[in-house]
Amino acid sequence: MYLRQLQLIQFRNYDELLLSLSEGINCFTGANGAGKTNILDAVHFLAFTKGFRSSQDQQAVQKGADFFFNGGKLIRKTTKDGKEIEKSVQCNYQKGKGKKVMVDLQPLKRMSDHIGYIPMVSILPSDTDLINGPSAGRRQFMDMLISQYDQVYLRNLIQYNRVIDQRNALLRQFASQGGVDQDQLDLWNMQMVPLGIAIQKERARFTELFMPVFEDYFKKIVSEQEKPGIRYNPNIHDFTEEAWHKALKDKEARDLINQYTGLGIQRDDLVFQIDDRSVRNFGSQGQQKTFVISLKLAQYALLQNQKKLPPILLLDDIFDKLDKYRLAKIAGILDEDMEGQIFITDTSLERMKLVFAETLKKVKFFEVQEGRINEVVTQ
């Protein structure tokens, strides 16, 4: 599946834009602040019904305007006879009215139903937060990835979070009214435990699937012999109802004092290591970047395998941070392993031309200037 056309109206710094895209590689180059990342944000919107820059849709509305339109025409090739089918995804947002997303002109009832329809992976400068930031980012990484191939997981997760919200509300109610209704609390525990275990099992399975693929990419990019590792660190170590109920009982007094649920899958983490040492505490910046890029490339490979469809890949400014050796290695991987459409931003058109000088893919170069885009014609 690839995006053939992107149309924007009053989206961030784009007043009106109509872009015809390459099914191979699309390079957006230009000065700082020109609007390169905004294009990736718009493409991300079509797949996830939100941008990556902000969770608030209204921030994507062009300054001074009161709505935006973001429309994409996608091409899906059928596996049987290679016939091309055109699909459209349109997002409208109007201040005060909210957001509407339509697939083939049919409005979506639930945004979550759309996740996974357009498989997509992005590599952004902020992704180093995966290593250096709090555990929530690592859980979100797992959750987003699993949700793209497993709708049941996503539903369980949404349900689990609702149960935790209710349980927390109850804990607050006990604190404000005095006294504890044990039956009511047990009722929420009974709902929380099976959901939590289903999520744990899926996270453990995911880590096992993911690890070898990740290791492969890491070794392809790095010349020296470094051994990377990823470990799932669940907050409750046994995946059994007994273990969960015991843990909940043991921590019940603390939960009542804190007025929130202090254990469960909302406390899980992923541990990242190189040569058995924490990447966060011991890894150099270059190692950290390589680790993150390998995580994302593995995410890509896993998704492609699950969906039997190459995802769209968004790369924001990744080449800027890499030495020549790693740059060449990654360019090689993009060329050989990444079958889907690629969107890439960089400040230098010359560097992009150099990087993709020998690619077998169809490349389009776009120069971005203050919310306007011109295609660079190359011989």
Ligand X SMILES: Nc1ncnc2c1ncn2[C@@H]1O[C@H](COP(=O)(O)OP(=O)(O)OP(=O)(O)O)[C@@H](O)[C@H]1O
Residues of this chain that bind ligand X (CB under 6 A): 12-13, 30, 32-38, 59-63, 317, 345, 347, 368
Instruction: Decide: 218 and 290 in contact? Cβ < 8 Å.
Output: yes
C-beta closer to Mg ion: residue 197 or 318: 318
Smallest gap from Cβ 10 to ligand X, in A, equals 8
Q: Using CB atoms, what's the residue nearest to Mg ion? A: 37
| Half-sphere exposure in the Cβ direction for 378 (13 Å, CA) | 14
Question: Min. distance of Cβ 110 from Mg ion in angstroms?
Answer: 31
Q: How far is the CB of 327 from ligand X (least distance, A)?
A: 18
**What whole-number distance in Å separates Cα of residue 379 and Cα of residue 377?**
7
295 touches, from ligand X, Mg ion, none (C-beta below 5 to 8 Å by class)? none
- Distance (Å, rounded) from C-alpha 165 to C-alpha 91? 30
User: Smallest distance from the beta carbon of 212 to Mg ion, in angstroms?
Assistant: 33
Q: Which is nearer to ligand X, 42 or 279 (CB)?
A: 42
Q: Which among 32-40, 57-65, 229-237, 322-330 is the span making contact with Mg ion, rule CB under 5 A? A: 32-40
Residue 83 to residues 1, 2, 80, 117, 253, Cα–Cα distance (Å) = 12, 14, 8, 19, 62
* Closer residue to ligand X in complex, CB, 30/72: 30
Residue 189's binding partner among Mg ion, ligand X, none (Cβ under 5 to 8 angstroms by kind) is: none
Query: Quick one: DSSP state of residue 246?
Result: H
139 touches, from ligand X, Mg ion, none (C-beta below 5 to 8 Å by class): none
Number of residues that bind Mg ion (CB under 5 A): 2
Choice between 252 and 317, CB closer to ligand X? 317
Residue whose pair of structure tokens reads 């990342």 in the numeric block: 37
For the chain, the farthest-separated pair of C-alpha atoms sits apart, in whole angstroms, at 78
- Binding-site partner at residue 33 among ligand X, Mg ion, none, CB < 5 to 8 Å by type: ligand X
Cα 325 from Cα 11, distance rounded (Å): 37
Is the Cα torsion angle 350, 355, 356, 358 positive or negative in sign? Answer: positive
- Residue 12: name its binding partner from ligand X, Mg ion, none (Cβ under 5 to 8 Å by kind): ligand X
Three-state DSSP state, 139:
helix
State the nearest-atom distance from the C-beta of 367 to ligand X, in Å. 11
Least Cβ distance, residue 347 to Mg ion (angstroms): 9
- The single residue listed with the structure tokens 């759309």 is 114
Q: Which is nearer to Mg ion, 116 or 371 (by Cβ)?
A: 371
Q: Which residues contact 308 (CB under 8 A, 6 or more apart)?
A: 79
Instruction: Tell me the CA end-to-end span of the chain in Å, nearest whole number.
Output: 27
Q: Would you say 36 or 289 has its CB closer to Mg ion? A: 36
Decide which of ligand X, Mg ion, none touches 359; Cβ closer than 5 to 8 Å per partner kind.
none
Where do we find the tokens 């804190």? Answer: 258
User: Which residues are CB-neighbours of 29 under 8 A, at least 6 positions away?
Assistant: 36, 345, 346, 347, 348, 349, 352, 365, 366, 367, 368
63 touches, from ligand X, Mg ion, none (C-beta below 5 to 8 Å by class): ligand X
Does residue number 37 form part of the binding site for Mg ion (CB under 5 A)? yes
Footprint of Mg ion (CB under 5 A): 36-37
